[in-house]
Amino acid sequence: MAAMRTLHTAPASFIVTPAPHLVSPTPTPRGALPAKAPPAAAATIQSHARPPLSPRVGRRRPCARAASSGAGAVVASVEDAKRDVLIALSQIIDPDFGTDIVSCGFIKDLEISETLEEVSFRVELTTPACPVKDMFEEKANEVVAALPWVKKVNVTMSAQPAQPVYAGDLPEGLKKISNIIAVSSCKGGVGKSTVAVNLAYTLAGMGARVGIFDADVFGPSLPNMVSPVNRLLVVNPESKSILPTEYLGVKLVSFGFAGQGRAIMRGPMVSGVINQLLTTTDWGELDYLVIDMPPGTGDIHLTLCQVAPLTAAVIVTTPQKLAFIDVAKGVRMFSKLKVPCVAVVENMCYFDADEKRYYPFGKGSGTQVVQQFGIPNLFDLPIRTTLSSSGDTGIPEVVSDPQGDVAKIFQNLGVCVVQQCAKIRQQVSTAVSYDRSIRAIRVKVPDSDEEFFLHPATVRRNDRSAQSVDEWTGEQKVQYGDVPEDIEPEEIRPMGNYAVSITWPDGFSQIAPYDQLDMLERLVDVPLPATAAVASS
């Protein structure tokens, strides 16, 4: 049990391990560098582990001095210097992950000049739209410049290349998209497209590469809300892929740009058209693809969710009492599809006149939404003639009046979406991992600190795919003894929000849904680390 307890205080798999060349030359005892452990846990661990590299214990510069050569203004070697720099940088905590930026693996290409006076490094963020990137840059400069031997600091800011967090077969055109955000409402006319377009341009204004997919083939509104010079989608004759049109740097695809006007189609055709438009488009590298969903909660939504791995959903509604029922429907649909709803936008809430604020539809059901569904973010949008006219002028409000109060609300929504997506990606990518030191598969329960451990062989033996179990007879094809007791996974990657794909040494790729992992026999007493086990045997 001792091993188990240690792991609970120091969940090391939270750490996106710093690049190997950045890791301190000092050997790291197991559990020494807690990533998400609260400060109290960090302090406990610091006392018996690796003092100089424990970052957050109410110290600033002294730790750097302690680690440097002791001469005050000099360091003995490049290795010592790098160590000092990493210690200094580990004082900077990413507010979204609650972890220092060194443990997050953000520090890349750390170089020290031969004279041991000049430091260069890159801070690689998860998204170019990171709302705290300026703060990171400033702080990184500040804490490194404060080291006694440093004369010059060169910090470069960059972002990770766009890539989905999910493994599995994605259509070619979606392979370089980091986050897909569905903007959805249960009814038409509530302002869903207005929110989708303004959110997209806000994210682009924050520095992200953005696309909008207008999935409403019955009444595509994107062509009225933006004014691209080229109003027709072009097909690349060689690759046969659709090339999006573009307005102010945002890539756009809509049935309304397909040159066919409004569609008179039946359900299956609609799904087919949406599928084709979404998947055969060459979106290129995108940080965020905003999907303006068709209204409702029907088949088209299922199709979309099956084709595109949605990262998160934003629900748009109006303040009427009845609208609560709509929001509930939307939240339930996304929850079934395992897509987290990160924000609710209550549109057309109020207007200001004669220096007074009027709520023509009553005060919304926002608080109820927050309480009942645990959606933490609620945004109120006013009724504005400028918002409705921007739908006709083809210039989104956040572009035509970037300093206005509506733009400010969208800025807050944009920050919320960026932060929530980053958290979801982090959660998804660390939900199931393999801890080599204790030879156990670690499963983190979403939205809680709870975690449990599984024996790799148990997971493999419980595979339910056709390779292991006869689909018709239910007969077990892979027998208990066929799976070696000491089998270890080679790679574990998330498959959507519902499963992981585990690659085993024999090349077998197992799809293990979270629900199934939850049912397996758990390791109560996690084995000792491999090295200790060998030593004691």
Q: How far is the CA of 461 from the CAs of 152, 451, 454, 525, in angstroms? A: 57, 21, 12, 20
Quick one: 211 or 391, whose CB is closer to ligand ADP? 391
Q: How far is the CB of 182 from ligand ADP (least distance, A)?
A: 13
What is the smallest separation between the CB atom of 481 and ligand ADP, expressed in angstroms?
A: 59
Q: Are strands 351-353 and 356-358 parallel, antiparallel or unpaired?
A: antiparallel
Minimum CB–partner distance for residue 300 and ligand ADP (Å): 14
Residue whose CB is less far from ligand ADP, 33 or 270: 270
**Do the beta carbons of residue 123 and residue 137 sit within 8 Å?**
yes
**Spatial contact of 300 and 255, defined as CB atoms under 8 Å apart:** no
Question: Are 32 and 49 contacting, i.e. CB atoms less than 8 angstroms apart?
Answer: yes
Q: How many residues sit in the footprint of ligand ADP (CB under 6 A)? A: 17
Strand partners for 111: 120
295 alpha-carbon distance from chain centroid:
25
Whether 492 and 500 have beta carbons less than 8 Å apart is answered as yes
Q: How far is the CB of 269 from ligand ADP (least distance, A)?
A: 21
In whole angstroms, the minimum distance from the beta carbon of 225 to ligand ADP comes to 8
Residue 363 or 436 having the CB closest to ligand ADP: 363
In angstroms, give the least distance from the CB of 375 to ligand ADP: 19
At its nearest, how many Å lie between ligand ADP and the CB of residue 181? 15
Amino acid at position 382, single letter:
P
Cα dist from 430 to 37, 112, 288, 318, 522, whole Å? 15, 32, 21, 36, 18
Nearer to ligand ADP, 54 or 347 (CB): 347
Instruction: Closer to ligand ADP by CB, 385 or 479: give it.
Output: 385
Residue of 184, 221, 281, 426 that binds ligand ADP (CB under 6 A): 221
Binding to ligand ADP by residue 388, rule CB under 6 A? yes
How many CB atoms are located within 10 Å of the residue 508 CB? 14
For the chain, count helices (H), then strands (E).
17, 23
Looking only at residues 259 through 318 of this chain, which bind ligand ADP when binding is defined by CB under 6 A? none
In the complex with ligand ADP, the residue whose CB is nearer, 185 or 297, is 185
396-404: list long-range contacts, CB under 8 Å, 24+ apart.
396/197, 396/198, 396/201, 396/225, 396/226, 397/198, 398/198, 398/201, 398/202, 398/205, 399/201, 399/248, 402/205
Site string for ligand ADP, 331-360 (x = CB under 6 A): ----------------xx------------
Minimum Å gap between C-beta 362 and ligand ADP is 16
What is the residue type of 298? G
- Residues 177 to 216 in contact with ligand ADP, rule: CB under 6 A: 185, 188-194
The smaller minimum CB distance to ligand ADP, of residues 149 and 257, is found at 257
Between 192 and 439, name the residue whose CB sits nearer to ligand ADP: 192
Which has the closest alpha carbon to 278: 242, 314, 312? 242
**Which own/partner contact pairs does 362-367 have at CB distance under 8 Å and 24+ positions apart?**
362/319, 362/320, 362/321, 363/319, 364/317, 364/318, 364/319, 364/320, 364/323, 365/319, 365/321, 365/323, 365/324, 365/327, 366/319
Lay out the site mask for ligand ADP across 389-408 (x = CB under 6 A, - = otherwise): --x-----------------
Residue type, 149: W
Q: Which stretch binds ligand ADP (CB under 6 A): 230-238, 354-362, 379-387, 396-404?
A: 379-387
Nearer to ligand ADP, 381 or 422 (CB): 381
CB-CB contact of 281 with 320 (8 Å): no
Among candidate residues 348, 349, 339, the one with its CA nearest the CA of residue 297: 339
Which of 291, 315, 381, 417 forms a contact with ligand ADP (CB under 6 A)?
A: 381
**Stretch near ligand ADP under the rule CB under 6 A, chosen from 99-107, 237-245, 321-329, 387-395:** 387-395
Asked if 387 is part of the footprint of ligand ADP (rule: CB under 6 A), the reply reads yes
Q: Give 60 or 408: the residue with its C-beta nearer to ligand ADP.
A: 408
Task: Note the residues at the interface with ligand ADP (CB under 6 A).
Answer: 185, 188-194, 221, 347-348, 381, 383-384, 387-388, 391
